[in-house]
Structure 1
């Protein structure tokens, strides 16, 4: 996909400035890093799901699934394997088993990913993950490359789920696509800045 095609997953050139309420200040260490890279005025930030929230959500999903598995274990074990009731109960049981695995997996992914945030400045972006911060100025960007969903056989395989900001020094920052009413204002602002610097968006 190139920047000539517009769809819900394709960002538009939104202005960097906004008339919305002033954003909360970036953390001091982020501001210091942005200052050393000459990124200019702080604009806004996007925070990822916190590990504690991901863990809590995953634990809640797993707990609900486990409760249903316990409730269904008796009827499933007592039903005749040749009855239609067994087929239905077995299918429901497997569904909650997959739900349990998904809940545990979500909690683990949240812990592995760690706390992340993207801080947008007029001259670039700062990405933080756990205690590591990386800054990329717009003039150092090679390209903004779209990331497509690749797993499974669902109809949404191939749709844009985020963008990878690639810099000359090898730094690569993934920016998830978060749509609100079909648009992502945060990504749109990045695209506007990169187009101003004539950087490719693919």
Structure 2
């Protein structure tokens, strides 16, 4: 997922799946004159995030419960107590991470990006935003900023910025080193002479 792995200068190579857009999305696209529907990218399932978070929290809670007995039986000054305490703390952090992951997924909500020949419609929860290619100010790459040092600086997505201040974040999803969805957006924006930075 580096700039070299997903450079916007390379053309799309893989066909995209064509699912139908919901009527309200098609209506907005028609109002904005976005033309023919191409494909959709679904992202951010709240139920999946909640389930993943719940499973993480449940596993951590179960191990914390199992460790509670040996931890309370061990001498506070023994080596085994120190090890058990560290492991217990690790599972406590895993529990907190699971809860945070589930809440974050619920707050972010379900998202989808509907790609049309003349622009994109972004759906987040129940809100819709449409951006036509001529109204795009620029497409800006978004880089990984935290975590593992080797991952810092990698491209994780693109932010589509419109002249009216509308901003749509499009996550990068690589398949065999390419993202056909982003490649189509890049090609359309290049055809409209829009900057890609």
TM-score above 0.5, yes or no: yes
1:19 CA displacement: 5.4
Specify the alignment match of 1:107 in structure 2.
Answer: 102
CA distance 1:103–1:81, change in 2 (3 Å): same
Q: What runs of 5+ residues in structure 2 fail to find an aligned partner?
A: none
- TM-score, scaled relative to structure 2: 0.91
User: Which whole-Å deviations, capped at 9, do the CAs of 1:112-149 have from their partners, x for residues lacking one?
Assistant: 01111000011110000111100001111010111112
Task: Tell me how far apart the structure 1 counterparts of residues 179 and 88 of structure 2 sit (CA, whole Å).
Answer: 38
Task: Tell me how far apart the structure 2 counterparts of residues 19 and 187 of structure 1 sit (CA, whole Å).
Answer: 12
- TM-score, scaled relative to structure 1: 0.89
SS across alignment from 1:170: coil
Q: In the alignment, is residue 77 of structure 1 matched against residue 77 of structure 2?
A: no
1:72 CA displacement: 0.8
Q: In the alignment, is residue 42 of structure 1 matched against residue 41 of structure 2?
A: no
Q: Is the 8 A contact 1:6 1:12 kept in 2?
A: no
1:171 CA displacement: 0.5
Question: Aligned residue pairs: how many?
Answer: 196
Specify the alignment match of 1:7 in structure 2.
Answer: 4
CA distance 1:158–1:76, change in 2 (3 Å): farther
- Moved runs in structure 1, 4+ residues, more than 4 A? 18-21
Specify the alignment match of 1:149 in structure 2.
Answer: 144
Give the superposed CA RMSD: 2.0
CA distance 1:78–1:155, change in 2 (3 Å): farther
